[in-house]
């Protein structure tokens, strides 16, 4: 392979020596290893840089209390490996069945050490090329017209060794702890260093800053031994089962809500941390006050002169002094290593901890720089699962496919089917696909219809944010109409302040499917690919522009969308009406009749029977079809030719409507 | 019966008055009596008269006079004469003398005064007739004021006679008159009860009644046996007019269920005469009791809307589907009886009510299209895919799959390497076609059980998607035969037991099969070698090659790979190959074609050496010259793209026909068309074809020319001519010359969606964002958001609709399953089922 020539080649540039690779991946966490796996499978020249001596260094430290909150389901009652990934949030994607997380842990919420071990084995078993103990401390660009993107990426590690790459995949995660500075913040302990031994908190009163899973996990750990715990944060608590967002507070960590709401023991407070101030009294107790009071005080005066809120408002909520204040405010992306020329900018508002990227996961500032993993969560923050292993394993694969097309001329993988398989291929995917399920409303299956709608091409898990660029990004032609298949929750169903257990929350009737609240498949039909402008003008509640037709498959209690009448039949009618054709299956006998009575045949006869692959069906089945009035039984009819021509044919037993559709031959 | 509604009505009115009105004597008008003495002396004992006394013309009584004069005619119908008695000035008797008596009217029977009416109670004809009859029918019509009164009367009547209960907002109204007039006729048959108390109306009707409109109930007390239960009631749904009450009472008087034992076309009942439909419940002896109950149940539901008859199929020879269970006869003349297969009594009721609705709409001269749309929409959720429906009806039957090995990701490769040949059916357990094929496959397994050393197995791709994609299975179902776990051949034929078996059988042997000796080759042509295939009656194909012709032989071998499993192919290239081929007057390379067990062997020289050409040639040569067309073999002949000359025969064709047709097929025009025949006994669907071409099956055999591929015309060979080569050829010439008229033309229709889809866009309209009309410069458009308001509005608007629907449907009758048919609970129940309630 020509690629091997590049690998390890040294490029002397301006005195410094560069080790060149087509792809550089920063970080050997789950996303970095996942990217490495796809690059390796495709036979690409790549290298992964990891600052630690082993993969997954974040998991070596976090979560501090070692319990992962990503589920590891051992049993689903199904053997379908793709389906089972829907309830396996820890495994990375690979062809090797040994590398399923459930082989590493039997715990529903596994220990973080297991994740570290799993990542190590993933890297070693698949022989991924990871360079450990290499911390990239600087990234800059080198203009070069021949480079893939008009520039090379120059990387420098802690030993001043230099590397050069055509494409840079940043899978560095978000690991820089968020810190808030306010007077007295020096008394605050960080989540990253705070003791995890509950004994250390015995008989103490604790204030926790933050309201995420790390804050609640910390509280959960010491809940039993403290006097009480208060938690302060600007935002309200959001429960993930109410918001459908796995990044919100998970039920496994919410023991404090119990003691707060039941016995007013512990408590939650809303307030801006920026306004806070902490002062330590002589006994070492920590008092909460407001920055406002500190600014007004006489600097020379002692601690006693500082006004406390309770001096004016004697029932001030946090008037009791605390023994400890713990900061659990989460992490942010490390922007510091990127040269200004890369324009790695933080996002705006609540996504400022993530770098700005496009829906294709490419940096807004630099072509050829892709952000993977947790750091790429700005695309679907607080919506889908792109910030978590079970989500970004799919977005990483999508990025890899985009790169394969862009740099290696390998179009997005697709399968071409005859149109008779249209309903089936959709039903198959919505029932088993994990990528669609985890990355709901972000990744979509695309069906590109071929001319005359006799065949179609099926593309899996394409990022819908770049739907308009589909032809360019995938190398597939979208000249005709297309279907986009995604999964959605009901629009007004979930939210922090919504009662998600209200009566009649679930719909059972197919014709009310559009009111489905739980995750269910939605199919968008476009007569032509939406334009970039349409994508820009997107309604904020909608993942896609207004389609020409839309179909919801009604939510299902078992997420099993294979019911012939409730799921498949309405879907078939929708597809039929979009394509203006008849997608029913017919027994060979019906096709035989049509062949002699119609000049055109329905697709299932055309593509099956006429090609000598008709469905003859067993005696019982044909009997059932006759009983259902969908097939005429001619065996018992008398055929005496002397029957008067005007004898009532209606009484010959074809009053049932559907049959008329089958044999409406002559009168038309 | 006339089909015209108005004629029906007029005849009804005629009937009513012929039967019940008392013959009028002379012209009905006001009688004038000169004096009271004169009047009283003339009164007959039995006659009834309404009299008023006028001294001179008093101006105040003038309007009353006009009304009373005009009511004279109406009252005459009831044998009541209206008399104006002139009071002489000097008369001071009881009636003439007092001033206030002059403002009254007096009702006499004979000379007995029954009632005196103040003139202000007689303000118009209606009030006069109503009040007079009310007074006369004092015993027949009970006036009540409380619910207790009603219950008392009901209890007294139970088991004896029926009751007609009427509420009128006030006495003297048109409705009151109608009730009284009806009571005059029916008063001796039913007990009439009248009230003007709104409280009683509320107590007797279901929902919030309108107290300003009248209301009539027929209470079936005669059959009521339980003293604790109130009598069954049937309300009159139409406005209270004499005609409607009469109709209603007629219908109530008719037997609940009529038993019928003759041709339903000839049946006529009160209902049909009154313009209502008649529902037949088709019954059999075995289910008579249940049917009777069903019929009664339906009859109660339909009382006043349609008649119900129980038709015994054992007594009447009906020419309808055996599973039909309901028939509907409409009063319209010329409309055939509809025979239906219904599953629920609700369906019967809806059927009748829809009929009435449609009729009403037609009468109102409105467009009925909407209704039809609605009807179609209702069918949207009814399965119209014959394969899916058949499979789901069969799903409870357990398949005999014990001879079929279940393969998984774990054992797939090991199992394949163990057996010499493994047949694998890849399918999806949720997919209908897959399941249909699985049924045939299980039959194959039972058929081949244990024989052959072929392992039959299956892979459910719903369980093992990785395995299926690894094996490159993209469509369900797919059948493959793996040889030693390595090479595989994919099946490409009909999904039928016989064809699958034949494929598996043939796949045991290499294709082409190398034959080592002349004996083997001869045996092969006779179908005796290899012995395992002796039961297999297909055409055998033998390639004969001299040792030198390796190019043709390789192509033949390659073609064998392609046709493997589908064609029985042998190959002989020993030294004496020349001798073998010369037996059949060809020289190698050549093909020997042995049809029907080697009785005729045909030799064909091999000229083309390209694999594709050879495959095509082999396929072509395998076709029969004059084949019997069957469902499985038609596609092979369709591919030729030629018109069909097809002989439809009731059974086997006669030798003469066969000979003539064969001559024709072999003749010069062989290239131009496919000559074939169809055995209606073996391929009964042929009846369907004939019925489409001609309205009924023509005398058989019938010879047709069908232009399947161009134009679609169907020509019928004249039945008076005998089927001989000469006749057919000259007929064909006429056809070509355009001298014959086609009997039929194949439908050119496109295969459109059978029914519309749910229009979710329309349903969700309030919450769908409109495509932004603004130009593209602006960034993402946020709609003006009032906190919570925007979404809430969409929410309530959209949520209300289904709930209204569901309440409307709840009101409908409870319904019972019809005998012998499983009620389709899920499909019928239109209320949104929500699993959180379970």
Identify the residue whose tokens are 């459109």: B752
Tell which residue, B494, B505, B412, has the closest CA to residue B460: B412
**Quick one: what percent of chain A has pLDDT higher than 70?**
91
In a shared domain, residues B696 and B639 = yes
The reported pLDDT for the residue numbered B767 is 56
State the Cα–Cα distance between residues B366 and B370, nearest whole angstrom.
10
In a shared domain, residues A430 and A515 = yes
Is there a contact between B386 and A590 if contact means CB atoms under 8 Å apart?
Answer: yes
Predicted ipTM of the assembly: 0.87
Which residues does chain A have within 8 Å of residue B688's beta carbon, measured at their own beta carbons? 593, 597, 632, 634, 663
Is A43 part of a structural domain of the chain? yes
Please compute the mean of the pLDDT values over residues B47-55 and round it to a whole number: 78
In a shared domain, residues B647 and B549 = no
- What are the pLDDT digits (tens) for B505-543? 888 888 888 888 888 888 888 877 777 777 666 788 888
Provide CB contacts within 8 A for A490, sequence distance 6+: A515, A516, A517, A518
The segment with the largest mean pLDDT, out of A44-58, B109-123, B280-294, B367-381, is A44-58
- What are the pLDDT digits (tens) for B603-619? 888 877 788 888 888 88
In a shared domain, residues B188 and B288 = no
Tell which residue, A621, A381, A112, A439, has the closest CA to residue B442: A621
Give residue A203's region: left, alpha or beta (phi > 0; psi -120 to 50): left
Whether the per-residue pLDDT at B447 is higher than 70: the answer is yes
Whether the per-residue pLDDT at B113 is higher than 90: the answer is no
Give me Rg for the CA atoms of chain A: 31
In a shared domain, residues A292 and A388 = no
Is B775 part of a structural domain of the chain? no
In a shared domain, residues B155 and B243 = yes
Q: What is the CATH number of the domain that holds B49?
A: 3.40.30.10
A213 pLDDT band, cuts 50/70/90, is: very high
Q: Which of B355, B387, B417 is the last residue of a domain?
A: B355
Strands of A372-464, DSSP E: 414-418, 443-449, 455-463
The reported pLDDT for the residue numbered A429 is 95
Is there a contact between B383 and A565 if contact means CB atoms under 8 Å apart?
Answer: yes
Is B509 in contact with B531 (CB distance < 8 Å)?
no
Which residues does chain B have within 8 Å of residue A617's beta carbon, measured at their own beta carbons? 387, 390, 436, 439-440, 495-496
Q: Shortest Cα distance from A542 to chain B (angstroms)?
A: 8
Identify the residue whose tokens are 């030993």: A159
Please compute the mean of the pLDDT values over residues A315-341 and round it to a whole number: 91
Q: Tell me the three state secondary structure of residue A66.
A: coil
Whether the per-residue pLDDT at A2 is higher than 80: the answer is no
Is B432 in contact with A564 (CB distance < 8 Å)?
yes
Q: Shortest Cα distance from A234 to chain B (angstroms)?
A: 20
The reported pLDDT for the residue numbered B58 is 55
B768 pLDDT band, cuts 50/70/90, is: low
Whether the per-residue pLDDT at B361 is higher than 70: the answer is no
Q: Which residue of A has its CA nearest to B378?
A: A511
Which residues does chain B have within 8 Å of residue A664's beta carbon, measured at their own beta carbons? 747, 749
B750 touches chain A (CB under 8 A): yes
The 3-class SS string of B739-788 reads CCCCCEECECCCCCCCCCCCCHHHHCHHHCCCCCCCCCCCCCCCCCCCCC
State the Cα–Cα distance between residues B784 and B790, nearest whole angstrom.
8
The reported pLDDT for the residue numbered B334 is 65
Q: What are the helix and strand counts (H, E) for chain B?
A: 28, 30
Cβ–Cβ contacts within 10 Å for residue A402, how many?
23
Pick B650's closest partner by Cβ from A546, A639, A651.
A639
- What are the pLDDT digits (tens) for A463-472? 999 999 999 9
Tell which residue, A616, A571, A532, A330, has the closest CA to residue A431: A571
The reported pLDDT for the residue numbered B377 is 52
Higher pLDDT, B776 or B768: B768
The reported pLDDT for the residue numbered B23 is 42
Interface of B with A in 488-547 (CB under 8 A): 492-497, 499
Is A189 in contact with A43 (CB distance < 8 Å)?
no
- Backbone φ and ψ for B508, nearest 5 degrees, come out as -65, -30
In a shared domain, residues A320 and A375 = no
Total domain count, chain A = 4
In a shared domain, residues A475 and A547 = yes
Is B790 part of a structural domain of the chain? no
Which residues does chain A have within 8 Å of residue B399's beta carbon, measured at their own beta carbons? none
- What are the pLDDT digits (tens) for B581-605? 888 888 778 888 887 655 678 888 8
Whether the per-residue pLDDT at B5 is higher than 50: the answer is no
Which residues does chain B have within 8 Å of residue A422's beta carbon, measured at their own beta carbons? none
Is B503 in contact with B493 (CB distance < 8 Å)?
yes
In a shared domain, residues B500 and B522 = no
Q: Which of A340, A375, A404 is the last residue of a domain?
A: A404
Is B371 part of a structural domain of the chain? no
Is A517 in contact with A479 (CB distance < 8 Å)?
no
Identify the residue whose tokens are 């908190």: A201
Task: Report which DSSP code applies to A566.
Answer: I
Which residues span the domain enclosing B453?
Answer: 400-504
Is A641 part of a structural domain of the chain? no
Kindly write down the DSSP assignment for every residue of B119-138, as one continuous string.
Answer: GGG--SHHHHHHHHHHHHTT
Do β-strands B326-329 and B338-340 pair in parallel, antiparallel, or remain unpaired?
antiparallel
* pTM confidence score: 0.70
Whether the per-residue pLDDT at A132 is higher than 50: the answer is yes
Is B144 part of a structural domain of the chain? yes
From residue B669, alpha-carbon distances to A59, B625, B674 in Å are 83, 12, 10
Tell which residue, A559, B464, B223, has the closest CA to residue A567: A559
Is there a contact between A581 and B752 if contact means CB atoms under 8 Å apart?
Answer: yes
Is A659 part of a structural domain of the chain? no
Token pair of B745 as six digits: 């033309």
Q: How far is CA B595 from the centre of its chain?
A: 48
Q: Which residue of B has its CA nearest to A594?
A: B689
Is B644 in contact with B607 (CB distance < 8 Å)?
no
Total domain count, chain B = 6
DSSP H or E run through A589: helix A588-597
State the Cα–Cα distance between residues B111 and B39, nearest whole angstrom.
10
Burial of A336 (0-12, 13-18, 19+ CB in 10 A): exposed
State the Cα–Cα distance between residues B609 and B543, nearest whole angstrom.
13
The reported pLDDT for the residue numbered A34 is 97
Higher pLDDT, B406 or B453: B406
In a shared domain, residues A356 and A315 = no
Burial of B289 (0-12, 13-18, 19+ CB in 10 A): exposed
Is there a contact between B685 and A572 if contact means CB atoms under 8 Å apart?
Answer: no
B32 pLDDT band, cuts 50/70/90, is: confident
Is A6 part of a structural domain of the chain? no
Q: Tell me the three state secondary structure of residue A506.
A: coil
Q: Shortest Cα distance from A543 to chain B (angstroms)?
A: 12
The reported pLDDT for the residue numbered B282 is 83
Is B423 in contact with B480 (CB distance < 8 Å)?
yes
State the Cα–Cα distance between residues B438 and B425, nearest whole angstrom.
8
Please compute the mean of the pLDDT values over residues B627-636 and round it to a whole number: 92
- What are the pLDDT digits (tens) for A522-538? 999 999 999 999 998 88
- What are the pLDDT digits (tens) for A601-646? 999 999 999 999 999 988 889 999 998 889 888 876 544 443 333 4
Is B650 part of a structural domain of the chain? yes
Provide CB contacts within 8 A for B487, sequence distance 6+: none
B212 touches chain A (CB under 8 A): no
Please compute the mean of the pLDDT values over residues A494-507 and round it to a whole number: 75
Q: Which of B745, B778, B795 is the last residue of a domain?
A: B745
Is A406 in contact with A397 (CB distance < 8 Å)?
no
Do β-strands A324-327 and A205-209 pair in parallel, antiparallel, or remain unpaired?
parallel
In a shared domain, residues B601 and B536 = yes
Is A349 part of a structural domain of the chain? yes
The reported pLDDT for the residue numbered A69 is 93
Q: Shortest Cα distance from A331 to chain B (angstroms)?
A: 29
Which residues span the domain enclosing A211?
Answer: 185-327
- What are the pLDDT digits (tens) for A353-370? 999 999 999 999 999 999
Edge-first strand listing for the sheet containing B307-312: B257-260, B307-312, B278-283, B326-329, B338-340
Is A61 part of a structural domain of the chain? yes
Provide CB contacts within 8 A for B153, sequence distance 6+: B142, B144, B163, B191, B193
Is there a contact between A507 and B324 if contact means CB atoms under 8 Å apart?
Answer: no
Higher pLDDT, B345 or A386: A386
In a shared domain, residues B90 and B158 = no
Identify the residue whose tokens are 């839309």: A550
Which residues does chain B have within 8 Å of residue A610's beta carbon, measured at their own beta carbons? 635, 638-639
Q: Shortest Cα distance from A114 to chain B (angstroms)?
A: 26
State the Cα–Cα distance between residues B87 and B37, nearest whole angstrom.
10
Q: What angle do CA B215, B217, B220 make, to 5 degrees?
A: 180
Task: Report which DSSP code applies to B662.
Answer: H
Please compute the mean of the pLDDT values over residues B651-655 and round it to a whole number: 87
Q: What angle do CA B289, B294, B299 make, to 5 degrees?
A: 125
State the Cα–Cα distance between residues A76 and A88, nearest whole angstrom.
10
Which residues does chain A have within 8 Å of residue B695's beta carbon, measured at their own beta carbons? 645, 649
Is A28 part of a structural domain of the chain? yes
Is there a contact between B464 and A648 if contact means CB atoms under 8 Å apart?
Answer: no
In a shared domain, residues B225 and B321 = no
Whether the per-residue pLDDT at B354 is higher than 90: the answer is no
Is there a contact between A82 and B466 if contact means CB atoms under 8 Å apart?
Answer: yes
Identify the residue whose tokens are 């006050």: A289
Token pair of A191 as six digits: 């989540």
Q: Shortest Cα distance from B679 to chain A (angstroms)?
A: 12
Q: Shortest Cα distance from B571 to chain A (angstroms)?
A: 26
In a shared domain, residues A418 and A563 = yes
Which residues does chain B have within 8 Å of residue A549's beta carbon, measured at their own beta carbons? 757, 761
State the Cα–Cα distance between residues A299 and B537, nearest whole angstrom.
111
A217 pLDDT band, cuts 50/70/90, is: very high
The reported pLDDT for the residue numbered B795 is 38
Q: Which of A303, A327, A351 is the last residue of a domain?
A: A327
Higher pLDDT, A431 or B560: A431
In a shared domain, residues A165 and A91 = yes
State the Cα–Cα distance between residues A464 and B420, nearest whole angstrom.
48
In a shared domain, residues B482 and B524 = no
Q: Which of A372, A404, A436 is the last residue of a domain?
A: A404
Pick B631's closest partner by Cβ from A573, A613, A616.
A616
Task: Report which DSSP code applies to A608.
Answer: I
Is there a contact between B383 and A602 if contact means CB atoms under 8 Å apart?
Answer: no
From residue A180, alpha-carbon distances to A285, A354, A582, A665, B420 in Å are 20, 17, 63, 78, 72
Cβ–Cβ contacts within 10 Å for residue B115, how many?
17
Q: Tell me the three state secondary structure of residue A168.
A: strand
Average pLDDT for chain A: 88
Q: What is the CATH number of the domain that holds A223?
A: 3.50.50.60
State the Cα–Cα distance between residues A552 and B232, nearest whole angstrom.
47
Is B557 part of a structural domain of the chain? yes
Task: Report which DSSP code applies to B28.
Answer: -
Pick B387's closest partner by Cβ from A585, A633, A663.
A585
State the Cα–Cα distance between residues B425 and B433, nearest whole angstrom.
12
State the Cα–Cα distance between residues A122 and A558, nearest whole angstrom.
32
In a shared domain, residues B643 and B585 = no
In a shared domain, residues A373 and A522 = no
Torsion of Cα atoms, B516 then B518 then B523 then B524, to 10°: 50
DSSP H or E run through B732: helix B725-736
Is there a contact between B389 and A628 if contact means CB atoms under 8 Å apart?
Answer: yes
What is the end-to-end Cα distance of chain A in Å, rounded?
64
In a shared domain, residues B241 and B260 = no
In a shared domain, residues B480 and B516 = no
**Quick one: what percent of chain B has pLDDT higher than 70?**
79
State the Cα–Cα distance between residues A5 and A3, nearest whole angstrom.
5
Kindly write down the DSSP assignment for every residue of A92-115, as one continuous string.
Answer: PP-S-GGG-GGGT---SS-BHHHH
In a shared domain, residues A548 and A433 = yes
The segment with the largest mean pLDDT, out of A170-179, B51-60, B189-198, B223-232, is A170-179
* Bridge partner list, B165: B193, B217
- Which of B342, B385, B434, B436 would best serve as a mutation to test chain A binding (most A beta carbons within 10 A)? B385
State the Cα–Cα distance between residues A271 and A294, nearest whole angstrom.
17
Which residues does chain A have within 8 Å of residue B700's beta carbon, measured at their own beta carbons? 639, 641
Kindly write down the DSSP assignment for every residue of A453-474, as one continuous string.
Answer: GSEEEEEEEEEGGGGGGHHHHH
Kindly write down the DSSP assignment for every residue of B611-656, as one continuous string.
Answer: HHHHHHHHHHHHS-SSPBP-TTTHHHHHTT---EEEEEESSSPPHH
Whether the per-residue pLDDT at B132 is higher than 90: the answer is no
Q: Which of B222, B251, B280 is the last residue of a domain?
A: B251
Which residues does chain A have within 8 Å of residue B708's beta carbon, measured at their own beta carbons? 595-596, 599
Is A647 part of a structural domain of the chain? no
């Amino acid at each position: 392979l020509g690629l091997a020539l590049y690998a390890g080649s040294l490029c002397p540039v301006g005195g410094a020596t560069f080790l060149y690779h087509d792809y550089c991946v920063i970080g050997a966490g789950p996303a970095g290893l996942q990217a490495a796996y796809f690059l390796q499978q495709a036979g690409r020249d790549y290298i992964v840089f990891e600052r630690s001596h082993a993969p997954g260094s974040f998991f070596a430290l976090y979560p501090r209390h070692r319990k992962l909150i990503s589920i590891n389901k051992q049993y689903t009652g199904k053997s379908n490996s793709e389906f089972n990934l829907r309830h396996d949030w820890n495994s990375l994607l690979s062809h090797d069945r040994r590398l399923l997380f459930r082989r590493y842990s039997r715990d529903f919420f596994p220990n973080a050490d297991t994740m570290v071990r799993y990542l190590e084995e993933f890297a070693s078993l698949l022989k991924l090329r990871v360079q450990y103990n290499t911390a990239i401390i600087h990234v800059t660009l080198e203009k070069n017209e021949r480079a893939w993107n008009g520039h090379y990426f120059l990387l420098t590690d802690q030993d001043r060794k230099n590397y050069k790459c055509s494409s840079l995949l940043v899978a560095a995660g978000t690991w820089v702890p968020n810190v808030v500075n306010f007077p007295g913040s020096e008394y605050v302990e960080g989540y990253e260093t705070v003791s995890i031994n509950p004994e250390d908190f015995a008989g103490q009163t604790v204030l926790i800053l933050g309201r995420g899973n790390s804050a609640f996990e910390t509280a959960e750990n010491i809940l039993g031994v403290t006097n009480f715990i208060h938690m302060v944060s600007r935002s309200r608590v959001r429960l993930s089962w109410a918001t459908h967002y796995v990044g919100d507070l998970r039920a496994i960590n919410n023991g404090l809500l119990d003691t707060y709401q039941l016995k007013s023991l512990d408590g939650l407070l809303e307030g801006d941390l920026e306004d806070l101030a902490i002062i330590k009294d002589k006994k070492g107790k920590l008092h909460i006050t407001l920055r406002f009071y500190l600014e007004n005080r006489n600097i020379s005066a002692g601690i006693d002169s500082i006004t406390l809120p309770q001096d004016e408002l004697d029932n001030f909520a946090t008037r009791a002094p605390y023994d400890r204040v713990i900061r659990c405010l989460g992490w942010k992306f490390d922007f510091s290593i990127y040269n200004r020329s890369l324009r790695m900018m933080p996002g705006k508002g609540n996504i400022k901890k993530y770098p700005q990227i496009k829906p294709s996961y490419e940096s807004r500032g630099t072509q050829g720089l892709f952000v993977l993993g947790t750091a790429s969560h700005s695309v679907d923050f607080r919506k889908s699962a792109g910030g978590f292993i079970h989500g970004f394993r799919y977005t990483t694969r999508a990025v890899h496919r985009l790169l394969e097309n862009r740099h290696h001329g390998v179009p997005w993988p697709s399968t071409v089917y005859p149109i008779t398989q249209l309903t089936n291929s959709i039903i198959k995917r919505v029932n088993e696909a994990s990528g669609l399920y985890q990355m709901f409303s972000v990744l979509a299956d695309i069906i590109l219809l071929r001319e005359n709608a006799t065949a179609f091409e099926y593309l899996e898990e394409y990022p819908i944010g770049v739907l308009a660029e589909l032809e360019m990004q995938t190398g597939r032609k979208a000249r005709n109409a297309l279907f986009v298949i995604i999964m959605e929750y009901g629009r007004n169903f979930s939210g922090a302040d919504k009662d998600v257990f209200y009566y009649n929350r679930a719909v059972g009737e197919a014709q009310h499917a559009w009111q489905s609240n739980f995750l269910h498949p939605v199919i968008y039909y476009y007569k032509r690919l939406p334009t970039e402008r349409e994508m820009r003008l997107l309604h904020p509640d909608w993942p896609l522009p207004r389609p020409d037709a839309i179909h919801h498959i009604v939510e299902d209690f078992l997420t099993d969308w294979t019911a012939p009448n409730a799921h498949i039949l309405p879907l078939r009618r929708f597809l039929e009406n979009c394509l203006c054709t008849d997608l029913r299956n017919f027994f060979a006998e019906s096709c035989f009749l049509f062949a002699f009575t119609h000049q055109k045949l329905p697709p299932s006869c055309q593509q099956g029977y006429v090609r000598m692959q008709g469905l003859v069906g067993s005696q019982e089945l044909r009997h059932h079809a006759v009983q259902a009035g969908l097939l005429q039984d001619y065996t018992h009819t008398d055929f005496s030719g002397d029957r008067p021509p005007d004898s009532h044919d209606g009484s010959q037993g074809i009053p049932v409507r559907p049959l008329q559709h089958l044999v409406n031959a002559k009168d038309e | 019966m006339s089909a015209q509604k108005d004629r029906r009505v007029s005849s009804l009115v005629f009937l009513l008055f012929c039967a019940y009105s008392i013959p009028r004597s002379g012209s009905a008008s006001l009688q004038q009596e000169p004096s009271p003495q004169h009047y009283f002396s003339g009164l007959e004992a039995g006659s009834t008269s309404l009299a008023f006394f006028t001294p001179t013309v008093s101006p105040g009584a003038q309007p009353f006079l006009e009304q009373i004069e005009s009511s004279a005619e109406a009252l005459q119908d009831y044998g009541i004469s209206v008399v104006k008695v002139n009071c002489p000035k000097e008369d001071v008797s009881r009636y003439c003398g007092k001033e206030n008596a002059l403002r009254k009217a007096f009702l006499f029977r004979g000379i007995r005064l029954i009632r005196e009416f103040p003139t202000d109670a007689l303000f118009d004809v209606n009030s006069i007739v109503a009040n007079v009859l009310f007074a006369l029918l004092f015993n027949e019509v009970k006036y009540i004021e409380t619910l207790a009164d009603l219950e008392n009367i009901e209890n007294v009547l139970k088991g004896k006679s029926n009751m007609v209960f009427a509420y009128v907002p006030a006495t003297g109204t048109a409705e009151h008159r109608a009730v009284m007039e009806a009571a005059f006729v029916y008063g001796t048959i039913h007990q009439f009860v009248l009230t003007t108390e709104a409280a009683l109306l509320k107590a007797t009707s279901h929902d919030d009644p309108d107290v300003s409109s009248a209301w009539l109930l027929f209470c079936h007390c005669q059959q009521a046996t339980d003293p604790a239960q109130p009598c069954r009631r049937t309300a009159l749904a139409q406005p209270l007019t004499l005609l409607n009450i009469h109709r209603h009472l007629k219908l109530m008087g008719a037997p609940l269920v009529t038993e019928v034992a003759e041709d339903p076309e000839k049946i006529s009942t009160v209902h049909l005469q009154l313009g209502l439909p008649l529902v037949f419940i088709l019954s059999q002896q075995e289910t008579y009791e249940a049917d009777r109950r069903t019929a009664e149940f339906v009859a109660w539901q339909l009382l006043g809307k349609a008649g119900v008859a129980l038709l015994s199929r054992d007594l009447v020879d009906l020419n309808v589907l055996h599973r039909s269970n309901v028939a509907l006869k409409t009063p319209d003349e010329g409309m055939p009886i509809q025979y239906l297969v219904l599953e629920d009594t609700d369906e019967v009721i809806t059927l009748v009510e829809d009929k009435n609705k449609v009729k009403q709409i037609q009468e109102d001269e409105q467009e009925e299209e909407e209704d039809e749309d609605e009807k179609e929409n209702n069918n949207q959720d009814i399965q119209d895919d014959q394969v899916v429906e058949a499979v789901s009806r069969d799903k409870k039957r357990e398949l005999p799959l014990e001879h079929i090995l279940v393969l998984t990701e774990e054992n797939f490769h090991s199992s394949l390497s163990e057996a010499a040949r493994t047949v694998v059916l890849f399918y999806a357990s949720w997919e209908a076609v897959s399941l249909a094929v699985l049924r045939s496959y299980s039959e194959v397994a039972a058929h081949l059980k244990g024989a052959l050393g072929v392992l039959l197995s299956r892979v459910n791709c719903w369980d093992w998607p990785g395995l299926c994609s690894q094996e490159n299975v993209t469509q369900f179902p797919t059948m493959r035969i793996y040889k030693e776990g390595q090479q595989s051949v994919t099946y490409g034929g009909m999904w039928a037991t016989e064809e699958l078996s034949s494929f598996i059988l043939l796949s045991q042997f290499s294709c082409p099969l190398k034959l080592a000796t002349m004996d083997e080759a001869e045996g092969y042509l006779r179908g005796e070698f290899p012995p395992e295939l002796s039961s297999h009656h297909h055409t055998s194909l033998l390639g004969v090659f001299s040792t030198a012709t390796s190019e043709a032989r390789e192509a033949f071998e390659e073609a064998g790979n392609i046709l493997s499993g589908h064609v029985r192919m042998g190959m002989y290239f020993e030294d004496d190959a020349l001798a073998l081929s010369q037996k059949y007057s060809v020289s190698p390379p050549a093909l020997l074609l042995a049809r029907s067990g080697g009785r005729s062997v045909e030799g064909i020289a091999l000229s083309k050496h390209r694999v594709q050409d050879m495959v095509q040639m082999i396929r072509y040569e395998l076709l029969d010259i004059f084949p019997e067309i069957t469902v499985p073999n038609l596609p092979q002949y369709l591919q030729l793209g030629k018109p069909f000359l097809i002989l439809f025969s009731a059974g086997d064709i006669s030798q003469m026909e066969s000979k003539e047709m064969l001559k024709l097929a072999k003749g010069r025009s062989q290239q131009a068309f496919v000559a074939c025949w169809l055995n209606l006994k073996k391929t009964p669907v042929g009846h369907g074809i004939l019925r489409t071409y001609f309205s009924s099956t023509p005398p058989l055999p019938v010879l047709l020319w069908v232009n399947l591929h161009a134009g679609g015309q169907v020509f019928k060979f004249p039945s008076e001519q005998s089927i001989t080569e000469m006749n057919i050829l000259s007929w064909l010439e006429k056809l070509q010359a355009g001298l014959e008229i086609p009997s039929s033309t194949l439908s050119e229709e496109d295969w459109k969606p059978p029914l519309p889809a749910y229009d979710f866009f329309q349903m969700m309209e309030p919450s769908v964002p409109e495509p932004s009309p603004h130009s593209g410069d602006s960034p993402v458009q946020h709609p003006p958001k009032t906190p919570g308001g925007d979404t809430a509005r969409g929410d309530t608007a959209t949520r209300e609709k289904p709930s209204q629907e569901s309440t409307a449907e709840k009101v409908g009758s409870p319904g019972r399953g019809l005998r012998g048919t499983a009620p389709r609970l899920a499909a019928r129940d239109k209320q949104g089922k929500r699993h959180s309630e379970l």
